[in-house]
Structure 1
Amino acid sequence: MPTFDSPNGWHTSYVTKILCNRAVLGEFQPHRRVDGKRVPDGEPSRAYYPAIVDEALFYRAQLAKSERRISGKGRKGAAFTNLFSGLAACAYCRSPMKLENKGAGRKGGTYLVCDGALRKLGCPGIRWRYRDFETSFLAFVEEVDLDGLTNEAAESAKLRLASDIAAVKGELAQVEQLMEKTFAVLVTGGSIEFVTAKLKEQEARKAELLKRHHSYENEREQVVSRQDQTHRSKEEVRELIERVQREGAPEMFKLRARLASHLKVLVEHLFVAPLLVQPKEHKTIRHQKRDGRYFEVWLRNGPGRAVYPAIRDPLRYDEQVVVWDGKGGPPRVSLATAIDLSHVTPSRPN
């Protein structure tokens, strides 16, 4: 169906405005301006226009809209359903990827699908089951700190250590300033004995602070290394993902909201390609033809990665390509083909 004036199809927000307007029931509400604001002028005229929506259907739509507003804006639900809202885009046409609920049944469930396909703009309407996509993304994008997000104790430890390290650095800066002032006293003719005693005192304090700083850094590295997904077994990764996806678990909304915020900071671009056979004109991260559905993610301060998850097991991938555009040299590429998650991601370049 053609739009009134936009070549980009019907947007959900525009359709919503139309369906919430009583003009669809045939009513006309005259208005006038009061202090620059548009306000109703008198009672509406019924049957002014031909009705295009049944009145009972109109009120059912308003009820559904009000229930969604009461239970929480958007489609997040009690478990913050879509972690990639506003982040995932179609790899073929760059339209946003939307979450579509197909209801119950064998082919039911929630899926990621291109908004351009939903609006009949020519993009193939192939869907990727949301649970499978989320599982593969969390399993193979190793920079996602699942352990830190699901383990409040570890997260608290990292925050405490970051605070301790910042405090020690502040003390070290203060000691450096005192040492400079002490040297200045010597230059202006101060007592050598006094200056020497003060410098020894400050050197001892500096050595103690450096020792504490080194200790805090080591402790933080140990916490981070315990959370490093590249050293986890397949079962450990599966358990972490199950904790994120466990329906009805306490604090589920809070946990998934925190994870969604983490992804917004971590990910710069996320392109989703659900087709099993790629269009001829489409190029992947490797700039060569490769069939199989995949997702391509570029991190703000990290590598670009294309992952081709196995069709029947979202915790396996058929191929993964990691591109490093590191400073001072050309991109370095690591490949892994038909490798189980227990062997996990390609090694990082030095």
Structure 2
Amino acid sequence: MMQLARAYSYIRMSSEAQILGDSRRRQIELSQVYARDHGLELDEDFRLEDLGISAFKGANASEGALSRFLEAIKSGRISAGSYLLVESLDRISRQQVSKSLALFLDIISNGITIVTLADGRIYGSTPDTMDLMYSILIMGRAHEESDLKSRRVAAAWESKRTRGSSTKLTAQCPAWLVLKPDRSGFDEIESRTEIVRRIFEESEAGQGAFAIARRLNQDGIPTFGNSQGWHSSSVKKILVNRSVLGCFQPHRLIDGKRIPTGDEIADYYPQIVAEDLFYRARAAAIDRRVGSSGRKGEHVSNLFSGLARCAYCKGTLHFLSKGKPPKGGTYIRCSKAIRALDCTASAWRYDDFEASFLALVTELDLEPIVRAAAGETFRRDLERQVAAKSGEIAIQEENRERAFELYMRSKSEYFSGKVLSLDASIVQAKTEFDSLHQQLNQLDLSSPSFYAQRENVQNLIRELQDRSAPDTYRLRSSIAAKLKNLIHTLEVSPDSAADRIEAKILRTRELEGFADHPDAAEIESIMRMPRKAEQQGRYFAVKFKNGAMRIVFPDDDPFELRDEIVAGQSKAIDLDVEDI
């Protein structure tokens, strides 16, 4: 059987937009179809891909995959009679014609046939005059295009630098801006910039995209386009749009999609949102994404959504409404217990639990939130800086992940440099974050004097639980966001240890053969041995992200403390309710 001639597919893409677009798939598909239709065996093992490498200065032929192909030809590893499949000649070279032609002739003179897939032309070892002239025309045009593009881009950006970006290269801009007639900059549309700032402030306060969109619609706020009302998707797009910081990210349209290309340009647009606010809003959104999701209701009924878990089985605690008081009320209870799935935990009246938590966990320092109109405290300023730095780190880590994925696909030095640069920025940001957190922890060492007066605490919590107050939603959203920012784990035990032990004994009695066991009475006696928690009743245990821990045993009066266990950062341990 006659052996098929071997073909090699060479793919080159120089820009991020091409890499992210459909160019690679298209070039591979063209090679596969040509090899199949012309009886060639396409070598899938010897991959020839120069991704993120330009042919304008010959980098692909001197150090890229194409250079390996040339070496393989000259060493005899790739035999004469083989085929090199390329989309067009400009994939091989965009250098000056003399250099491009020398490379072209070097390949075909070694017995390699070049096929340009876009036009189906075949260049063998002895091309005729017309084919040679045509190839020179293609090479000349490719170089001229690259050279012209290079000079235009350089001139345009040099002009922008010398004129201090006084003339904008595009009229495209965010919906809250409009290009000035002389193209010297952009004017703000005040009514829209106020809406954008409101969106960021509400996100920072703990409101999700759906809640923000709903309240914009309730207030009759017009959208920026023809949409019939605000949607959560449009709110989310604004919250991740760095144009609010004045940054411009160039894009290219690839296969109908806008693909980012190159680095973003700072100070291109007017900055309408403070950088700290942008990052705090982002951090709050990430906390909501990690901690919980879904709609929060008209008044953010459950501040602990996505945080609280059952201390017995680690199941999620659900918020239950059993009608209006006095017969009804709201409660939290383990989801497994509700469904009778190996958990017997009872319910805890929600308002009592919330009051105990907010009154007795002094690390929260709630007064600045409720009394925001009276001025920011030093603690609040620090918390805002910590939240902003947390958001900044999260964004940089996402960008680093994206740059690394592009590097793995392209092996481009550009993306490798991006990863290293972002690594250094993240290390610096984390150092600054730790410094801010340390300052915040120093404030936690002394209990706020506000909590020393029981009346202060009770009035604050009653104000927070007043569902009829106009500012309730904002206050409760802010507190929910703060809880997610501070708390690592929260385990809730609605029953005393004695209740749990009796329930366990009842289940043990139901086991087959236990009643006839000779040591049944002794086993029950051992199971009833007293534990600390048995004397204390129900409790909740909270571990903070800074490593500190507090276990609280509220009294029957939710504002009163029966007992507590407190551990600082250095004493932080993993919570295990069986040890309590």
Q: Give the TM-score normalised by the residue count of structure 2.
A: 0.31
Higher RCO (CA-CA < 8 Å; seq separation 6+): 1
Structure index of larger Rg = 2
Query: Please, what TM-score do these two structures have when normalized by structure 1?
Result: 0.50
More helix by percentage: 2
